[in-house]
Structure 1
């Protein structure tokens, strides 16, 4: 499925922005499933609900607020630090080191950032396990975003300001099309990362984002191959 780019389409890019989960590591690694299970457990314990009911609440918050965390903060005034610490207490050895990806990122001209709705520690742990942490100049996490998640506009503008990014000279790589809407509208080149053998009915319906495909310039199921095509 890789939609290989012509290097000229990215010749103007000086800042490269990558989401973390299901973007810098492939979806089939299934690492995020651990976080998902822990979020369900957190909601179940907090609200004293059976797991199946807690999961419904968790996913409703995700749909309505952008993240389960934001919904829990708005509706139940939880401690975000406690939530982030508990849901990211996972086994990162599920990730295999990816030196080829690290090399492809290193060849990109300019600065590289991780922009995640997770927290910095999670991004650092995952990137370190992949062997690519030292390829990035900085990490912009949900705490730096003042706990406002993508795809809302405010955290992107804060990201641009804090990191000195001109979006018209930047590119963003994401696994959710909705999170590319603001980048696209501000001038970023946008790339959607999809799983291998992606199908239109993939996973839960809100994760496939069919209504946001206008925000996507390129689609790939192989990030390393895509980046290598830009700078062989």
Structure 2
């Protein structure tokens, strides 16, 4: 694909990007976050969900809100939220082949933890293809879509954004990468995910979304260069 002929830095989000939502990993994380709020504040499920939405929209992540407003230990939160069952996550050898065939470096940029990223990528059988994981801790707990997070990532890994592509399942997280000069690809589910808001999984027509796909492996395969 000519649009990616110059790319030799491949940057991937983790959850709902490197695996399909049908694996039901992310709903478990959602449930664990809600449960964390229930146990911390003695709330019911609906109140915890509402509080989580408040933190997300005001601070970018629930964790950021808890740290700012309640001085919650981030390690405690991340360990609790990512204590999920990965047994439904199947190895994806075809995706591994497609990623391995991409020319240049491959990196994961996630708002989750490095431990969660390694567990998921390991279960998928693709961890060996990635040079490193840049997580929420490395970002100083400032989440995507904040510009400073991308700038920290680019600086730490010496990534030239003009030679990079970003794969992400949340449209607003592609605004800054596009502005920095990266090619952007929005990953959408093949079928609507009832555990996510409609705006989180829509095929967005916007200048900062350069490509849209529901098939990551199929999208990557033609990008291999010999």
Structure 2 length-normalised TM: 0.95
- Name 1:207's counterpart in structure 2: 200
- Any idea what SS the aligned residue of 2:181 has? coil
Q: Name segments (4+ residues, structure 1) moved above 6 Å.
A: 209-212
State whether structure 2 residue 211 is matched by structure 1 residue 224.
no
* Residue pairs, 1:176-215, within 5 angstroms: 176-197=170-191, 203-208=196-201, 213-215=206-208
Q: Which residue of 2 aligns with 1:67?
A: 61
SS of residue matched to 2:207: helix
Query: How far apart, CA to CA, are the structure 2 residues paired with 1:220 and 1:45?
Result: 38
CA distance, structure 1, for counterparts of residue 50 and residue 101 of structure 2: 43
Q: Is this contact kept in 1: 2:18–2:216, CA < 8 A?
A: yes
Task: Look up the match of 2:23.
Answer: 29
In structure 2, C-alpha distance between the alignment counterparts of 1:73 and 1:221, rounded to whole Å = 34
1:62 Cα shift?
Answer: 1.2
Does 2:107 correspond to 1:113?
A: yes
**How far does the alpha carbon of each residue in 1:113-169 deviate from its partner, in whole angstroms, 9 at most, with x for none?**
000000000000000000000010111000000100000000100000000001010
User: Measured at CA, do residues 213 and 29 of structure 1 come closer, stay the same or move farther in structure 2, by a change above 3 Å?
Assistant: farther
Q: 1:66 and 1:205 mapped to 2: Cα distance?
A: 18
TM-score (norm 1): 0.92
Task: Tell me how large the CA RMSD over aligned residues is.
Answer: 1.8
- Ranked by relative contact order (alpha carbons within 8 Å, sequence separation 6 or more), the top structure is 1
**Deviation of residue 208 (structure 1)?**
3.9
Asked if structure 1 preserves the Cα contact closer than 8 Å seen for 2:27 and 2:195, the reply is no
2:25, 2:86 within 8 Å by CA — same for their partners in 1?
Answer: yes
Q: Is the 8 A contact 1:178 1:209 kept in 2?
A: no
Q: 2 CA distance for matches of 1:229 and 1:208?
A: 24
Report how many residues are paired: 225
State the 1:23 CA deviation: 0.1
Residues 203 and 213 of structure 1: is their aligned pair in 2 closer, same or farther, counting only changes over 3 Å? farther
Residue ranges of structure 1 left out of the alignment (5+ in a row): 1-6
Distance 1:71 1:206, change over 3 A: farther
Cα distance change, pair 36–129 in 1 and its aligned pair in 2 (3 A): same
Matching residue of 1:122: 116
For residues 205 and 172 of structure 2, what CA distance do their matches in structure 1 show?
A: 5
1:202 and 1:35 mapped to 2: Cα distance? 11
Partner of residue 3, structure 1: none
3-state SS of 1:197 partner: coil
**Does the Cα contact within 8 Å between 2:189 and 2:201 map onto a contact in 1?**
no
Aligned to 2:78: 84
